[in-house]
Amino acid sequence: MRQSSRLSMFLLPLVLLSAAPALAEVQLPLRKAGLWDVKVDHAGGRMPGVAVQQCTSEAVDREFTSDFAPSARQNCSKADVQKTATGYVMDSVCTMGGTTVTSHAEATGDFDSAYTVKVAARSKGGKFGDRDSKITIAAKWVGPCKEGQTPGDVVMPGGFKMNMRDFEKFKSMAPH
């Protein structure tokens, strides 16, 4: 159960952030291939922050974004991405499992060495009722992937490892 909670904390921001680029005309840049330290903090939330390591490649980043496109088209009534002077601004409205999430995200950084994404989201309906959340994702490139890692691998605290390409396997762990 603890790993499932950590997994859902990691997946929620990824789903929110991947839905908008999948539908928008403006695409976020792909991250530099290699190993990224990713910290996800929930300001004032009931969930603690989590730090993971993610091994990625251009193909995995491109695949991950495009894999969410059909789901985003079905579940999101709004998905706007705008390029700004300092990065990107994303606004989306998506409904899944009876919950509508309206989010505003701002991404800054070069996506080669580091980037930060700040998300303000309002959830309405569903199991957890109405609530606001603020999430900050801070990522830093640390070098090549470690021996034995393949692009798409995510290592959670405690050593739990999954591969984003196995989305169907871990989708069932996310809250419904």
For 139-175, write each residue's pLDDT tens digit.
999 999 999 999 989 998 888 888 877 765 545 555 4
Count up the domains in the chain and report the number.
1
Residue 21 domain flag: no
Residue 16 domain flag: no
Domain that holds residue 89: 34-173
Alpha carbons 11 and 8: distance in angstroms, whole number: 5
Residue 28 domain flag: no
Residue 119 domain flag: yes
Residue 25 domain flag: no
Residue 169 domain flag: yes
Which DSSP state fits 44?
T
Give per-residue pLDDT as tens, 73-132. 677 888 888 899 999 998 989 888 888 989 999 999 999 999 999 999 898 988 877 888
Alpha carbon 20 to its chain centroid, in Å, reads 11
